[in-house]
Amino acid sequence: MTIAVTGATGFVGQALLDRAAEAGLEIRALARKPQAQRARVEWIEGDLDDQAALARLVAKAEAVIHIAGAVNAPDAAGFIAGNVTGTLNLVTAAMLAATPRFLHVSSLSAREPQLSAYGASKRKAEKVVMASPLDWTILRPPAVYGPRDREMLDLFRFARSGLVPLPPRGRMAAIHVDDLARLLLALAPAGEDVSHKVFEADDGHPGGWTHKSFAKAIGWAVGKRITPLALPAFALRAAARGDRMLRRAAAKLTEDRVGYMCHPDWSVRDEARPPAERWTPRIGTREGLKATARWYREAGWL
């Protein structure tokens, strides 16, 4: 099976390439700049605005896995360009190539698009996929963690200090990047059980995690007894403005993220889970967080 992949150089994409290599799959991957050679991976230089590159990417591929997208942008237009226009361009290329399968990686935030420009853009991208004649499947991951991840790194650093700032009381879901990569490959083959369906997936922890319990799990992973500090929305927005001033474009806490962080329930719905016959999570989050903390230390990030 040959799979065309966008976002292959990112956090989730790298894990996908690792799992695909183990499975003996051929990958054709889009990249903005030249990449080191990798077994069973053909790199296609270009981006989601390059129609010629997208045509080469999807040519004779048996499935497309669309991971690439904007997770941070200065304004709504940036999210539209990265998540909606890019998806439309890729869907168009897949249609012209008569690609048999299209797997779109969205976000749990698309469930509540009114809360953030990011979530709104992911919902609009989903609508682009749904309106196409492709045999599509949409996956909405929750918080993803694991080796190479920089989005959750700040929480580990806070935990090491013993104090972890959190959103107001609520629930969340999480998934290890390796489990997510396995799921993407499991959903790639066609079938009535996955065609034209939207799935949500997590670590299998019953009812998800409270913000407090997840923070304590990170504390356990770094070997610290932590004090969770739930902050009201206005305090988080102030912190986001401060982060923007300090780290500018590299800021991880943004006002847009505060919009969906303060939603009380980001747990996964049981009826939206993918078929158990195709995939079940293998990595418990406490153990996964501990392994991630170890990777951060070995990489010199923590």
Structure token digits, residue 233: 């929305």
Q: Give domain limits for the chain.
A: 2-144+174-203+268-281
Percentage of the residues of the chain whose pLDDT score is greater than 90: 85
What is the predicted pLDDT for the residue at 62?
97
What is the predicted pLDDT for the residue at 243?
76
Task: Tell me how far apart the alpha carbons of residues 256 and 110 are, in angstroms, rounded to a whole number.
Answer: 13
What is the predicted pLDDT for the residue at 302?
94
Task: Tell me how far apart the alpha carbons of residues 257 and 30 are, in angstroms, rounded to a whole number.
Answer: 27
- As beta bridge partners, residue 6 has 66
Residues in the chain predicted with pLDDT less than 50, given as ranges, are none
Query: Which class in CATH covers the domain with range 2-144+174-203+268-281?
Result: alpha beta
Torsion of CA 53, 59, 61, 66, to 10 degrees: 30
Range list of H helices, 138-276: 153-161, 177-187, 211-222, 233-247, 255-261
What is the predicted pLDDT for the residue at 16?
98
The sign of the torsion formed by the CA atoms of 251, 255, 256, 258 equals: positive
pTM above 0.85, yes or no: yes
Task: Tell me how far apart the alpha carbons of residues 64 and 4 are, in angstroms, rounded to a whole number.
Answer: 5
What is the predicted pLDDT for the residue at 207?
92
Torsion of CA 51, 52, 53, 55, to 10 degrees: 80
What is the predicted pLDDT for the residue at 192?
97
Q: pLDDT digits over 88-120, tens only? A: 999 999 999 999 999 999 999 999 999 999 999
What is the predicted pLDDT for the residue at 23?
94
